Structure 1
Amino acid sequence: MCRSGTAMRLTALTLLALLLTACGAGGGQDAQKGGRKPVFPVQVLEVQGGTVEYAISSTGSVEAFEQVLVTARVRGVIEKVNFREGQEVNPGDILVEIEPQRYRNELEAAQARLDKADASLKDAQAGLKRREDANRQTPGIFSPDEVESWRNRVNSAKADVSQATADVKIAQLNLRDAFATAPMAGIIQSRSVQSGAYVQPGALIATLLRRDPLLLRFTVDEDEARSLKQGQQATFTVTDVDQPLKAVLTHIAASASSRSRMVEVIAEVAPEDRERVRPGTFARIRIVTGSRDNAPAIPQTAVRPTERGFVAFVVENGQARMRLLTLGLRTEDGRVEVREGVKPGEKLVVRGAEALKDGVAVKIDEPVQPQDK
């Protein structure tokens, strides 16, 4: 009797457990069937339209228009140096004096030799004339040999005058060159001599830079060069000047370098900016070649590459919508122009797009402000 009751209780517990298990399984299936689709949190930015500039960027350097090596043209001791580094000079300014008194003396000596040669020539010409006149009045009074001898004297005296004249000119040049002068307006870049030094012709005295005009030299690739022309405006920045500086394109090389395939470009720095930069400075150049108004520009981080092309997601009615994009210019502030795919005013997903597919439900968190993108 006791065994029978125990068996009945075990059977009842077993049936209850099976019933509860069946009920639990049925409830899970109902919950799964009635479960909600996942909602993805995203942050969005309203697409804004504006003016997008098409620009070419490059790097280069500021250069002096001309660099001249001022050298000695005569030998001698430098008696006086009239310049220092960084000094502005004008054409004809005397930089150094190389024994000018010695070259004055040489000029005076050469002039004296010329005067003597002139006097000898006049005497020879007068003697020849007297003999020729006498022979005309009294033929045969002077022998032909004597007349010919005086003619030779005249010719020799003329040669002496020519030589003395050349010596005077050389002495004049030497005296002029004893005062080494600036050949053009510019700034003294370096000084290579000291007072008392002995120099030979060709010895370097100073390096002179011509800053008017001041040049900007850089290169662009062949495709970019096609959109450039002389007279086009450019801006550039240097490390020690806060504001952009201006320049005008003056030369675009007719052909690219056979090695680098780059095209050399030269621009003149605007007159008002010449004193703000110095030759040799590294520069970052920007040339605007066109613009587009009311063009949507979005953060480059919102663009995703796919097999179909570049895409981005926008939010419409609580759902993510994938848009195939046609991209244009990339701007310097990290944005990219969108020529087709999104329009100003749409809500662009800028964060949380990694797991999105077209049509999935999304929840917009706090919108991203343009400065936070």
Structure 2
Amino acid sequence: MHLPSSLKLPLCLLLSSALLLGCGEQEIDQRPAPGPPHVDVLDLTPTTLRLTTELPGRIAAFKQAEVRPQVTGILKSRLYKEGSQVEAGDVLYEIDPTIYQSNVNSAQAQLTKALASEKSSRKTAVRYQELLKKKLTSQENFDAADASYKEAQAEVAISQAELDYANVELSYTKIKAPISGQAGLSMVSEGSLLTAEQSSYLTTIVQTSNVYVDMQQSSLAITKIRKEFASFTDKNAEIPVSITLEDGSAYDEVGHLEFSDTLVSDSTGTVTLRAIIPNPNNLLLGGMYVRAHISMPEARDYLVVPQSAVVRSQSGEPSVFVVSQDNKTVKKPVVIGNEVGNGWVVKEGLVSGEQVVISNIINMKNDIAVVVDSSTESTTPTTVSEE
């Protein structure tokens, strides 16, 4: 068949394209299949760690007292320097004692009078007792004299109590420090009228040699921590607590955990933990926010895997790939705990001696053959902290 010359060129192009396509498919089909992926593994061995739990905390004064007057009067003088250290019993303020000294003098005079009356009635009672023995007076007269003597004794007791009370009130004109610590700003000045049991305080005293660190932890986490503490051998071991300041620097002194509250907050569902921290340089002030690190009572052996080896499902469940004896991968779900440097402590799911895949994670699937290029052993991390 004879084709027109105008159709010869398109037909040749079409035949050439078909031939090239067929050759390309043949070349692709002849390429070798990819081999098993190459991986590096970590030989799991226990690492001895003393784990810590990190919690936000707030500094609270170890002791704090609000100083108030116990009697009414005009403030005569302030006897302390604001911001200075005071000792328990130091006089901070003095109220004009004139009225209270007068009350003491009056009570003393009443006591003197009562003592004189008591002395006279005692002599009368003794005299009637002697006359009664000689039958020179009646029993009725003796009973009256004895009753007068006992009444005089009661008057002496009442007068003595009034004198004691007057002396107490006089002593209250010297307002003393109830505790040792740093005295704060004075809220009153000389000449002010002070009243007993007034609501406003004169100044505050804060004991700063030690401070509290109050921390909040969820009730669920507290339960887990208590279960972990219960498994330690030394039940009475002191639990160290260190803190990090607001600027990120570590505080030099180390304290200890004092107690945990017995009630769960209705609004937050948290429990308050309290630690005591030494504060010799008064660096920690009430109200400061810090990060507290609660150490476990003792060191233990834990399995640690790199964070990069942990994969998570869409629901967030963590798992790792391990290499079996026949060089196939096994995907194992794990329960992770504390963050340790660049790794996680594995609480459940792995055992010592297993080989965890630490490279080429993106290409890992369950039950595939792999080639192990290298294996490394677990090393002790340099830092330990809670996630």
Aligned to 1:100: 97
Q: Tell me by how many angstroms 1:93 deviates.
A: 0.8
Aligned to 1:24: 20
**Aligned pair partner of 1:234 in 219, 241, 251:** 241
Contact residue 47 and residue 297 of structure 1 kept, 8 A = no
**Aligned pair partner of 1:210 in 207, 210, 215:** 207
Q: How many residues align?
A: 354
Residue type at the aligned position of 1:232? I
Q: TM-score, normalised by structure 2?
A: 0.70
Q: Tell me by how many angstroms 1:329 deviates.
A: 2.3
Residue type at the aligned position of 1:248? H
Contact residue 48 and residue 345 of structure 1 kept, 8 A = yes
> Deviations along 1:60-93, whole A, 9 cap, x unmatched?
3222233323221211111111224432221211
For 2:14 and 2:136, how far apart are their aligned partners in 1? 171
For 1:35 and 1:256, how far apart are their aligned partners in 2? 67
For 1:196 and 1:212, how far apart are their aligned partners in 2? 34
Cα 1:17/1:196, change in 2 over 3 Å: closer
For 2:308 and 2:80, how far apart are their aligned partners in 1? 56
> Is 2:171 the partner of 1:171?
no
For 2:7 and 2:129, how far apart are their aligned partners in 1? 172
Find the residue that maps to 1:170 and give its secondary structure: helix
Contact residue 309 and residue 320 of structure 2 kept, 8 A = no
Larger-gyration structure (1/2):
1
Aligned to 1:109: 106
Residue type at the aligned position of 2:179? M
Percent identity, aligned pairs only?
21
Cα 1:308/1:106, change in 2 over 3 Å: closer
Normalized per residue, the structure richer in strand is 1
**Aligned pair partner of 2:193 in 198, 201, 204:** 198
Find the residue that maps to 2:202 and give its secondary structure: strand
Aligned to 2:350: 340
Q: Tell me by how many angstroms 1:103 deviates.
A: 2.5
Aligned to 2:273: 265
Aligned to 1:90: 87
Q: How does 1:1-373 map to 2 (within 5 A)?
A: 7=3, 16-17=12-13, 19-35=15-31, 51-127=48-124, 129=126, 139=136, 153-203=148-198, 204-211=201-208, 213-220=210-217, 221=219, 222-228=223-229, 231-240=238-247, 242-244=249-251, 245-254=253-262, 256-257=264-265, 260-269=268-277, 271=278, 275-289=282-296, 295-299=303-307, 303-305=311-313, 310-311=318-319, 323-324=331-332, 326-331=334-339, 333=341, 335-338=343-346, 340=350, 348-349=358-359, 354=362
For 1:82 and 1:232, how far apart are their aligned partners in 2? 42
Aligned to 1:367: none
Contact residue 242 and residue 255 of structure 2 kept, 8 A = yes
Gaps of 5+ in 2: 230-234, 374-380, 382-387
Task: Please provide the CA RMSD for this pair.
Answer: 4.7
Residue type at the aligned position of 1:278? L
Contact residue 327 and residue 340 of structure 1 kept, 8 A = no
Cα 1:56/1:273, change in 2 over 3 Å: farther
